Amino acid sequence: MASDTIRIPGIDTPLSRVALGTWAIGGWMWGGPDDDNGVRTIHAALDEGINLIDTAPVYGFGHSEEIVGRALAEKPNKAHVATKLGLHWVGEDEKNMKVFRDSRPARIRKEVEDSLRRLRVETIDLEQIHWPDDKTPIDESARELQKLHQEGKIRALGVSNFSPEQMDIFRDVAPLATIQPPLNLFERTIEKDILPYAEKHNAVVLAYGALCRGLLTGKMNRDTTFPKDDLRSNDPKFQKPNFEKYLAAVDEFEKLAEKRGKSVMAFAVRWVLDQGPVIALWGARKPGQVSGVKDVFGWSLTDEEKKAVDDILARHVPNPIDPTFMAPPARD
């Protein structure tokens, strides 16, 4: 059975294979922030044994990083922080904010300095390019990150939403410790290329969307709705008739999980961990939403259960929808 901790090159401490995802804590696209609950959620995650917190400047336009910094300042030396860069935003308020890709070296340096200040740290454990910027040569971005790494401001470097070809360009200039793509029971395209790439090049995968934006919590039904400022209101998975098909699959996943004495959340995240050198991001914005993380550890799916998962998907969701709706536009 695979270990339930993993090492990222450049970070000395073994890391829990479940990390807390804090996009929702930032508030933007998740119905607004709730700072005190955000801090309590991070503390609850630490109590569950999580020691890696994943955030990004664009999550609430700095707000998620500030909440992470506040929470960890109250419990120092309890966790490592992964953040991101390469997304720029302009606008007067969140409702009218325009986000676009920008990984120019000057932008990278500014974002690192801003993240250090918000997170209240001297060194960022893991810094990742959030999305590839097709208007900036990848080697230029990687070279600037490598400089910041050598200056001691970053311990490890990673990328998110990059193709193998783009990662090759990055690796020619700087060490690539992690790769962050979407991966869950419904969003599995990385099985074809990214997972084999990670294993070949000794990179750790940080799988975002492990609970598919709440779909795999078992707490939704066909009458569940989402406000306009919730990103799921624009996700085709959560629209009829797709929503009913996905929920039918979740119902069957839940039955599989019950046979193991597990929640469907624990079952879904364990499936993610069983795919390779993976850390699953468990997104939450309330303390109760991290309850049960410990149930993910200490077991693995059997071959029969993995086959049952594939059979369920083939019957209910034979043509799964990729999360491409979340991709930000290029710079003008």
Give the type of residue at 173: V
The three-class DSSP label of residue 206 is strand
Evaluate whether 192 touches 207 at the Cβ level (below 8 Å).
Answer: no
What pLDDT does 2 receive? Answer: 61
CA-to-CA separations, 253 to 7, 210, 284, 305, 307, in angstroms, rounded: 30, 14, 21, 10, 12
- Is residue 87 within a helix (H) or strand (E), and if so which, with residue range? strand 87-90
CA-to-CA separations, 99 to 25, 142, 223, 229, 328, in angstroms, rounded: 18, 21, 31, 15, 6
What pLDDT does 33 receive? Answer: 72
Catalytic residues, which ones? Answer: 59
> Which structure tokens are listed for 322?
């990729």
pTM for this model (two decimals): 0.94
The three-class DSSP label of residue 83 is strand
What pLDDT does 286 receive? Answer: 92
Determine how β-strand 5-6 pairs with β-strand 15-16: antiparallel
Distance, CA of 313 to CA of 293 (rounded, Å): 24
Evaluate whether 20 touches 52 at the Cβ level (below 8 Å).
Answer: yes
What pLDDT does 322 receive? Answer: 87
Q: Residue 203: is it exposed, middle or buried by C-beta count within 10 angstroms (0-12/13-18/19+)?
A: buried
What residues does 20 pair with on adjacent strands?
53, 282
The three-class DSSP label of residue 269 is helix
What pLDDT does 29 receive? Answer: 66
What pLDDT does 270 receive? Answer: 97
Mean pLDDT per 10-residue segment, the chain (332 residues): 85 96 80 85 95 95 94 94 95 81 97 98 98 97 98 98 98 98 96 97 96 92 86 88 96 97 96 97 92 93 98 96 84 82
Alpha helix ranges (H) inside 190-283 = 194-200, 242-259, 264-273
